[in-house]
Amino acid sequence: MTNDALKQTLQLHRLEGLCRFSPEQIAILLHATRLGEDALALALLPLARQKAQVPVSGFRVGAIAIGGSGHWYLGANMETGGLPLNSALHAEQAAIGHAALFDEHHIEKIIVSASPCGHCRQFMHELNQDSLMLVLPDDHFMLDELLPHAFGPADLGQSCGMLNSPIGSLGQQNDQQPTAQDLACLAAQAEANASYAPYSHNRAGVALLLDNGHICRGRYLENAAFNPSLGPMQLALSQLFLQGYGADQIRRAFIVEASADVQQYDAAARLLGQLSAVTLDRLVL
Ligand SMILES: [Zn+2]
């Protein structure tokens, strides 16, 4: 199926511009395109790729995470000019982080336009699932084929995975509750509680309040190998771009994080500061 034919199909069913598809929407597209699931996902990758932010490399990567609920989540790589290369977010991370924000507990498949780098293989290993299939344009693999003899959560005594760790209770143990009317701050707190920080215990969440009242959210997703950890601001900004917004629409920004030896605020403020003049408000609980 050509890109133009797919675009027409999406327009016909009022599905253009989406970065997330429900099982019902996928059923409509499978029927309309007569494609199989993998072929449809590969055909949708250009939609993800066009959301990429690549001021450094110019190399766009798109990914789709298919969650256990049947929802499909798009992801794209995101680079930030002016910052070191390790501030970049990879497409697979963006797609899995996207699924995490919608409380998926299992990923069935990752569809990606280029072979996953070692960083992403390590990041995906933190899902701590029995198996994970990776679908590429011309091939498919199981994650353990691409990452044999892996180091992961079990080596650090963790039995849960990135999408199924216990919910935290930040903000419920003391009087430092954010004001009830501040929905964005409450959203950041909720994301901090839902974040995954088994190694540092630095639960953290970010919320970006936009000029139209919409809130883009991000949560911290930690990794046993530390470096592939996904920061809450990275995920919130990835959501901003995936949803079709721009950094100039950010009006308020909040980070809520746990008091721990590791802190997210400086890195998050530096990342936000490259894209927006808005001050990052911080709440440590
Ligand atoms: Zn990667």
Provide mean pLDDT across the span 116-134.
Answer: 96
With cut-offs at 50, 70 and 90, classify the pLDDT of residue 269. very high
In whole angstroms, how far apart are CA 131 and each of 64, 169, 198? 17, 30, 21
Question: Do 276 and 198 belong to one domain?
Answer: yes
Is residue 4 in a domain?
no
Question: Do 141 and 188 belong to one domain?
Answer: no
Helix, strand, coil in percent for the chain, rounding step 5: 35, 20, 45
For residue 153, the 8-state DSSP code is: G
Is residue 1 in a domain?
no
Provide the domain count of the chain. Answer: 2
Provide mean pLDDT across the span 70-78.
Answer: 98
In whole angstroms, how far apart are CA 102 and each of 68, 85, 98, 150? 11, 28, 7, 28
Question: Do 247 and 188 belong to one domain?
Answer: yes
Is residue 117 in a domain?
yes
Question: Do 129 and 58 belong to one domain?
Answer: yes
The residue segments making up the domain with residue 87 are: 16-156
Question: Do 148 and 25 belong to one domain?
Answer: yes
Phi-psi region of 22 (alpha: psi -120 to 50; beta: other; left: phi over 0): beta
Question: Do 100 and 207 belong to one domain?
Answer: no
Report whether pLDDT(14) > 80. Answer: yes
Work out the percent of the chain whose per-residue pLDDT is above 90: 88
Is residue 174 in a domain?
no
Question: Do 77 and 133 belong to one domain?
Answer: yes
CA–centroid distance, 99 to ligand 1, in Å, is: 17
Question: Do 137 and 189 belong to one domain?
Answer: no
Q: How far apart are the first and last CA of the chain?
A: 51
Give the per-residue pLDDT at 180.
40
With cut-offs at 50, 70 and 90, classify the pLDDT of residue 1. confident
Question: Do 137 and 192 belong to one domain?
Answer: no
Question: Do 56 and 100 belong to one domain?
Answer: yes
Give the per-residue pLDDT at 38.
97
Long-range contacts of 131-135 (CB under 8 A, 24+ apart): 132/107, 133/108, 133/109, 134/109, 134/110, 135/38, 135/41, 135/42, 135/109, 135/110, 135/111
CA–centroid distance, 188 to ligand 1, in Å, is: 26
Is residue 162 in a domain?
no
Provide mean pLDDT across the span 204-225.
Answer: 96
Work out the percent of the chain whose per-residue pLDDT is above 70: 96
Q: Which residues surround ligand 1, an ion (CB under 5 A)?
A: 90, 117, 119-120
With cut-offs at 50, 70 and 90, classify the pLDDT of residue 22. very high
Question: Do 84 and 187 belong to one domain?
Answer: no
Is residue 102 in a domain?
yes
Query: Residues, the chain, total?
Result: 285
> One-letter amino acid identity for 158?
Q
Q: How far apart are CA 189 and CA 255, in angstroms?
A: 8
CA–centroid distance, 275 to ligand 1, in Å, is: 22
**By three-state DSSP, how is residue 268 classified?**
helix
CA–centroid distance, 118 to ligand 1, in Å, is: 7
Q: What is the CATH number of the domain that holds 193?
A: 3.40.140.10
Give the per-residue pLDDT at 114.
86
The residues carrying an active-site annotation are 92
- C-alpha 240 chain-centroid distance: 11
Torsion sign across C-alpha atoms 61, 204, 214, 127: positive
Question: Do 141 and 193 belong to one domain?
Answer: no
Provide mean pLDDT across the span 145-165.
Answer: 91
